A = this chain, B = another copy of it.
Amino acid sequence: MLSSTTNSATLDWTRADERAVDTARVLAADAVEKVGNGHPGTAMSLAPAAYLLFHKLMRHDPRDPDWLGRDRFILSPGHSSLTLYIQLFLSGYGLELDDLKALRTWDSLTPGHPEYKHTAGVEITTGPLGQGLASSVGFAYSQRRMRGLFDADAAEGTSPFDHTIWVIASDGDIQEGVTSEASSLAGHQELGNLVVVYDENHISIEDDTDISFTEDVLKRYEAYGWHTQRVDWTETGEYVEDVQELYSALLAAKAETSKPSIISLRTIIGYPAPKKQNTGKIHGSALGADEVAGLKEVLGFDPAKSFEVDQDVLAHARAVVDRGAAARSEWDSSFEAWQQANPEGAALLERIEAKKLPAGIDAVLPVFESGKDVSTRAASGKVLNALGPVLPELWGGSADLAESNNTTIEGSASFIPVSRSTDAWKGNPYGRVLHFGIREHAAASIVNGISLHGRTRAFSGTFLIFSDYQRPAIRLSALMGVPSIYVWSHDSIGLGEDGPTHQPVEQLSTLRAIVGLDVVRPGDANEVGIAWKTMLENHENPAGIVLTRQNVPTFARGNGAAQGDTFASPAGVAKGGYVLAEASKDGATVPADVLLIATGSEVQLAVQAREALQAEGIAARVVSMPCVEWFNKQDAAYRESVLPAAVKARVSVEAGLALGWREFVGDAGRSISLEHYGASADYKRLFQEFGITAEAVAAAAKDSLAAARN
């Protein structure tokens, strides 16, 4: 562990800076007091650290929160949103006093936790502890990858793509398992662009953290390979906010470019509130009028006034706007120089910043011949490898299941330091293939970070069952509306012998339940290509592609809509659901007696059942429904054309819970589904034993026809 005095650059710190920090504390107390609830404590004691970052260290331009070259700031303890809001106010991001006064109220710019896409300057939605810190590792991945993609040869610190990821983390963030996973990867990756200030205030909701948290955090981070420093403002026995000491540590952390840095900053939560500092209460409750008044007295503010901001102090703080503009202008020159020297890179950057795919992407999508059985995971691997050369922005990998998930873009280096190369994988810090280890949750959080930081498109792979490990990160991607991509293979009892611990049952239903997540389960190899393309065309929300382990038939198809006995082209995948095979009689399309709605590996069962029913004179239409969310976005006319309201006899077919299908099949409908856990055996046996067969689909169709007649 380095001493915190290795860097002795002198901080320019005046009375106006001090006053700005104290203003931040008073505003935090006032804002919580006004609404009557919230988290004042950390915003008060961390005000010096946050102010240091925003006013003395970060490269940012409050006039352009989306500036490509900006440093990023991540507040992992989102409950302390005031820490961020007040700096956005003091830095001139557009938040004003009225916004602070509207804290935690309907429709304000200052909700309880910071929300991405809602308040300018908020880089990521935080609140569920651990996610901010874990995703910050993804921000750092993205910075390095983009640097490699666009300016690999520039000397360190000279590229317009060089910048720093600054993070504030709390005791809670450090305790969460997802940050352990991500921090281990950050050390492994030698992320010299990542600086974490760990606010070790020793207080959480159950008061003194000694009841549950006594590990040696910095030693743990050393074990991960991080650069560690300790800044203890209590070390003298008095509480002394030595901002110079913290500043020096931050500079040293930034200067350490061979590994990520963590600074343990020992603070007293709620300082300098006279009575409630250093208590669990000040973490998450309003201080009360007396204590707010006491705080103001301590700091030399008028206890009778609320939201008092000295205009000179504000002007002093907002000088950061001019400094930001100057930095921006300097960066603009270097960026223009880069553009001129790198026209190809500049064109690529322009395309991905515009959220566009290259022209002619359809031409590279592989076409799979019918008649040959292919697992959809294998098809996905082929699609990825076809897209790889034309989409340099596409990268990703797996949580130790690369070969099972088929997530490797071949011929690319792994995104790891060269020294981490193994016999099986060649490393390069600017590589393209990600290896998350057996850390599914961090994989998802890191991909969120990548998707928030820039416009590259990253994916993580694991088995569908382990999406359960990723749910907090998946939900955040959906809530934020960032286009993280999940590759989930081994999508049902079809994985066979690994048995019930590995066989998804409820996962399809429960993932579809996440508002804003697209769950895409293609029915054959040719659906996979359109699925990937459609996911990549969308930049506004996350998607997961759900793939079989086992082979499934590749259907023989025509070039357009289904007609008679000719199956539709896979183009309908982009609409979420489409008529794959028409109800037909003697080769001609006829009105459907019954609709068979299926996804993934069960589409083949619907197809077989259609034929069996047809042989009995029952006209059955097969609807492939790879993505319910996309289908529901289509206009009513299209949806009616696929699922005519008049046809009440309907069967859904999916090797998972029926949950969610009732909306499609209605009271007269039937669902072929799995309502219990799986078992360990050959998958064909399992489908048979559990009654997920073409025969069962046909029987259910007749049952539904009978019900619909009543």
Contacts and interface: CB of A to CB of B under 8 A. Distances in A.
Interface of A: 35, 37-38, 78-79, 104-108, 111-113, 115, 125-130, 171-172, 175-181, 184-185, 187-188, 204-217, 219-220, 222-225, 280, 398, 400-404, 414, 416, 420-425, 427, 435-439, 441-442, 465-466, 468-469, 471-472, 475-476, 479, 496-502, 505-506, 509-510, 513-516, 657, 659-660, 662-663, 666-667, 675-677, 679-682, 685-686, 689
A206 B424 contact: yes
B184 A175 contact: yes
A600 to B, nearest CB: 18
Nearest to A474: B468
Contacts of A127: 498-499, 501-502
A425 B509 CA distance: 42
Contact of A502 (B35, B112, B505): B112
B111 A679 contact: yes
A542 B284 CA distance: 31
Contacts of A225: 214-216
A340 to B, nearest CB: 38
Contacts of A222: 216, 219, 223
Given A211-B427, A213-B188, A438-B204, A468 B472 contact: yes
Contacts of A172: 400, 438
Given A211-B425, A515-B677, 7 more contacts: A38-B497, A105-B680, A205-B401, A212-B439, A223-B223, A471-B471, A510-B510
Contacts of A500: 111, 113, 115, 479
13 contacts: A38-B497, A106-B679, A111-B679, A112-B498, A113-B680, A175-B438, A176-B177, A185-B212, A212-B416, A212-B435, A212-B436, A509-B513, A662-B662
Contacts of A184: 175, 213, 215
A206 B424 CA distance: 8
B400 A204 contact: yes
A172 B462 CA distance: 13
Nearest to A463: B128
A512 to B, nearest CB: 8
Contacts of A660: 659
A442 B178 CA distance: 11
A678 B475 CA distance: 13
Contacts of A104: 497, 499, 680-681
A500 to B, nearest CB: 6
Contacts of A38: 497
Given A111-B679, A215-B184, A128 B177 contact: no
Contact of A187 (B180, B215, B516): B215
Given A38-B497, A127-B502, A506-B513, A422 B663 contact: no
Given A176-B438, A206-B402, A438-B171, A689 B106 contact: yes
A402 B682 contact: no
Contacts of A111: 499-500, 679-680
Nearest to A171: B438
A184 B660 CA distance: 40
B212 A223 contact: no
A404 B205 contact: yes
A211 B414 contact: yes
B515 A676 contact: yes
A177 B177 contact: yes
A422 B179 CA distance: 26
A234 to B, nearest CB: 17
A667 B425 CA distance: 55
The 3 closest A-B pairs by CB, nearest first: A177-B177, A127-B501, A111-B680
A175 B437 contact: yes
Contacts of A210: 420-422
A501 B479 contact: yes
Given A177-B181, A206-B402, A675 B515 contact: yes
B113 A423 contact: no
A402 B435 CA distance: 38
Given A171-B438, A468-B472, A498-B127, A420 B214 contact: yes
A97 to B, nearest CB: 19
Nearest to A131: B501
Contact of A499 (B113, B505, B675): B113
B501 A505 contact: no
Contacts of A79: 498
Contact of A188 (B188, B214, B427): B214
A12 to B, nearest CB: 37
A223 B403 CA distance: 35
Contact of A400 (B206, B402, B442): B206
A435 B223 contact: no
A5 to B, nearest CB: 24
Contact of A682 (B78, B105, B223, B471): B105
A219 B1 CA distance: 14
A466 to B, nearest CB: 7
B423 A208 contact: yes
Given A224-B215, A438-B171, A206 B398 contact: yes
A515 B504 CA distance: 11
B207 A422 contact: yes
Contact of A425 (B205, B207, B422): B207
B212 A188 contact: yes
B682 A106 contact: yes
A506 B514 contact: yes
A441 B469 CA distance: 9
